Structure 1
Amino acid sequence: MEGWTTVVNRRKANERKKSTLEERLSYKCDTWGNPPNYHHNWRNKEDITSYYFTHFTDEVNEVRLWEKFKLWGDVREVYIAKRRNKDGRRYGFVRFKGVSDIKHLEIKLDNIFIDNQKLFVNLPRFARSVWKLEAQPKVGKGGVSDKDTIRSPQDNSRPRQRSYAEVAAQGGASAGTTSCEGETPVITITLHEGHDYWCKGAWVGRLKKHTAMELLEDHISWELGYNISTKFLGDDMILLTGLSEDKAQQIIRTEVDGGNSLFYSFEKWRPECRPNNRVVWIQLWGFPVEAWDVDHMKKAISVIGDVIEPDEDTDDRRRLDRARLLVRTPLPPAITKEITVRTGDVDHKVWMVEEIGDDVGMRNRRTPSSVGWTDEITSVEDGDAAVHDDEDSS
């Protein structure tokens, strides 16, 4: 005979196949839906946390960033992308191992200064979706989808939010150093037991784009109903009261399925829902006329924050004695700062002053502040109007 032919009992073969299949189905999949013996890339391990960062100069490299980041934890990788983001800025990712409080570390990193420029750091969008948009179904290898739920992250996963004074004290110095000239008074407030928060059941949304509150209120009233009340919390956060669970789930679904909502995150209100930054109007006095361009002004503002938009007077160059810009900043109120702007061989003293009042921030967007500041009549139309006013008064 040329060779032996192995005879296999069909019943035993079927039993072996059945037992192998049951063993595979009995695997407890990990976070990514893979069996325990699946070989992971080290970046996907559960003890590795990634952060997105941007807003740094072209001179900054991975080595300098590593030196800054390592002050806050066990850094495993710093990567700067070769391309720029949609805003034309450099960006990258840093990966830490063994982070115990992800959001607390995010706040720490978001207040690093390098070359007098504040670094902007946050969880990547895919990580934010896990934190905020938890209505997204989780599908494993077997194609089984979990029941859709609307829930917020666990309370113990959120850090104690620092005050603006703490942010400013740490943000103005090098990373890893803290200015502490005196103890901050601690005021304890005892809430009435048995009484709910007035904002219990409200929802917090983080806006993809800063919008004037008047326009935002109109848009939300049109889309969700006039019984929805919109309140500005600060930064990119708004509080929505009177919103039902069904409407909230509809907003989350709209974002998860197509990214077509106003918000990049949406969750139920909790006491930990506090903004880390402020949106304020900054007046820029003494900026050189020859460099009057919003992109140049952004470089000057970068020492305190990030420019959202200029007002119309600044954009149209109606006033050249001072510029007015809407800025996102972690610094405490009443910002005043002096810098030197060099154009060629000439140095210019430039002053930054925050506008303080009831009508600043989200409720006063791109309003020409020069309207009504002059008493001169400079046009025929103004002259005719003046004549009519005199006739009416007589």
Structure 2
Amino acid sequence: MSGDSRQRSSEEWQDVPSRKGRRNSQQGGANNKIITKFYVSNLPPKCSSLDLKEVFGGFGVYEGSYIARKRDRWGKRFAFVSFRDVHDVKRLEGEMVDVWVGSYKLFVALARFVDGDMIDKPKPDLRRKAIMKELASHANHIVEGEYESGANTMGRGDNSNQTRGGRSFLDSVLNRNKVDTILVDDNVEGFYQWHGMSLVGKVVDFNTLTSLKELLRSRGWNSVAIKYVGGFSVLLVFTCLEDAESFLSYKNMWSVWFEGLKVWDGNFKEEERIAWLKVYGVPVQLAVDQVLEMVGSRYGKVVQPARMSGDDNNFSFAFIGVLTKSCSRIVDRVDIRWRGFLFNVWTDEDVGSTRGC
């Protein structure tokens, strides 16, 4: 029968057998299997059940998925993914905090509803509240025996709260999102042949960064190789030590372009980077630099505005360059309110772009 709902394409959804009436995210299935469901949002437009199986199949005993036809309250496609015999639900949920399908980062959480029934709200964790209160009064405390890390996590304050492996004291106490550390042998060192004959420094602004090659040539420094190393920082590689020292002596010249320059000895760390954000959802009447800069400034210092104009043919998105300390890919949503209207705006970092650099 062509109208039978059981004849739906597997590319659209795959239903997972369940038993109704249980107020828990874990359900008893066939052969007394314990099924745990997770809510998954921000699916790509053409994401199928086969895609979900490929992405989530390695996290446990994968049972199946259900992709909803409607969208959630944020206008995102969503699904429910099921696993069998999960021994530690919280741990599994924590392992799925950084799951991607193509360029879409998925939001994964333990399902709040199962077959229309809401899961019982857990009782307040009084011990966790006590810990949080204690941490608030000891914000600069460092775990005994640990040492400070150079990791800089956006929104977590000063580095004094960081412990081994870039993990904060708060994360250590609550045992969440541990960051693994890779130990590299001290003898490993790349491009050591440039030591002494190269200079490292930070340019004063984005325009100088993009035009540095022409600026150097205009002063006769045609043989200098420019190596971009992140943020506003570059490495100037000369053909010999004498040329590097000679350039460094012309401070009246290069101080217009650089905040500072020094001979590179193999030690360098850049904590900032330029992120190129693709902003969707700003209506054409608000597609002006003032509004777009308000969106971009949420993630860092805007160094390259969108510069929308009447000559543009596509107003559905805009590119913004921001200088940020965030080490994670930026994928976010914000609402813009104007004249009583509410507009949903999405920001997605274009990780493959080196626009202007």
Q: Name the TM-score class by shorter chain.
A: 0.3 to 0.5
Structure showing the higher helix proportion among its residues: 1
Q: Which has the larger radius of gyration?
A: 1
Structure showing the higher strand proportion among its residues: 2
Q: Give the TM-score normalised by the residue count of structure 1.
A: 0.43
Whose relative contact order is higher, 1 or 2, with alpha carbons under 8 Å and at least 6 apart? 1
